[in-house]
Amino acid sequence: MTELKESALGLDIVPLAGYIGAEIHGVDLRDPLEPAVVDEIRDALHRHKVVFFRDQAIGHGEQIAFARLFGKVTPAHPHEDNPPEGFPQILPIDSRRYEENLGRKRTSYDNSWHTDVTALHNPPAASILRAHILPPYGGDTTWTNLVAAYENLPKDLRDFADRLDVKHQFNSRAIAGSQRDRKVREANLVAYHPAVRVHPVTGERALFVSPGFTRGAREIRGFSPSQSERILKLLWEEATRIEYTVRFRWAPGSIAFWDNRATAHLAIADAGHLGHDRVLYRVTLEGDVPKGVDGRESELVSGEPFYGS
């Protein structure tokens, strides 16, 4: 049965799945939001890990202003050099661009499970994605709750994972030798993160193994490549078990706001071959340097920290 929480502030927060995801109704993001409403959305984000809004008739400026209520807004992406004019914080997720940049038609830039830009020493704290143009069917996105994934591991496996440090790196998927390929290689983003990170607000532990950014290196400090690969496969599988996920069907004006410290997501690659366009716009909030359960911090190997304003 659907649990419906109606707050004193008029927000309805409707959970969508057993471990993750809620839709928030009763708020119009064109209006100035009361501090208490902002607090309630933030609490819902931390509780449900990803929250969704429907039918929001907002543009780039309002999306950035909404994001600023929750933290510092970063530039669009460490590799983005063509954001919409006047909006350097907006990352277009635009199928019309990918054919040119990546050499093939696709509906999102990464169709593997990942947590946003974990090759950075300080990956974004949260991301806010707004849908603009969508295929008539297909092109959904799925999120997984990395806290549930950690908490449901057997204790011995939790204790083992607590001690691991995993290499995250940004691999170029662009056409070899293209301007984008050169840019990705020059920035060379590489960091080691604890496999289990402690959320700075909730104190919860999350299984922070971002397959899209750890699959290239397949390296856990102190283990051989083949040992690392086998351990990572186990952790990736646990992190993305179907029961920890929620799948969201986009419509124009839909917004997803996710806690990038407690989730990973997957843009489902089931629409690119149909030739339909899919255009969404993302902003990210500046993140902290992850900390493991014993307080050890992630290690920067290469690349610049990514700050917002």
- Residue ranges binding ligand SIN (CB under 6 A): 93, 108, 110, 116, 127, 129, 141, 265, 267, 280, 282
Q: 114 catalytic, yes or no?
A: yes
CB neighbourhood size of 274 (10 A) = 13
| Least distance between ligand SIN and beta carbon 256 (Å) | 8
Catalytic pick from 79, 114, 199, 218?
A: 114
| Least distance between ligand SIN and beta carbon 45 (Å) | 16
Asked if residues 16 and 53 have their Cβ atoms less than 8 Å apart, the reply is: no
Q: For residues 156 and 175, what is the distance between their CA atoms, to the nearest angstrom? A: 43
164 vs 285 by CB, closer to ligand SIN: 285
244 vs 248 by CB, closer to ligand SIN: 248
How, if at all, do strands 299-302 and 190-194 pair?
Answer: antiparallel
C-alpha radius of gyration, the chain, whole number? 19
| Least distance between ligand SIN and beta carbon 9 (Å) | 29
Q: For residues 232 and 297, what is the distance between their CA atoms, to the nearest angstrom? A: 20
Q: For residues 260 and 262, what is the distance between their CA atoms, to the nearest angstrom? A: 6
Sole residue written with tokens 């169709």: 111
122 vs 284 by CB, closer to ligand SIN: 284
Catalytic pick from 116, 168, 215, 261?
A: 116
Q: 265 catalytic, yes or no?
A: yes
Q: 110 catalytic, yes or no?
A: no
Residue showing the smallest CB distance to ligand SIN in the complex: 108
Q: 288 catalytic, yes or no?
A: no
129 vs 161 by CB, closer to ligand SIN: 129
| Least distance between ligand SIN and beta carbon 272 (Å) | 11
Q: Which residues pair with 129 in a beta bridge?
A: 256, 282
Catalytic pick from 168, 199, 215, 265?
A: 265
Query: For the chain, how many residues are written?
Result: 309
Asked if residues 53 and 86 have their Cβ atoms less than 8 Å apart, the reply is: no
CB neighbourhood size of 62 (10 A) = 15
| Least distance between ligand SIN and beta carbon 179 (Å) | 22
Catalytic residue positions, numbered = 114, 116, 265, 282
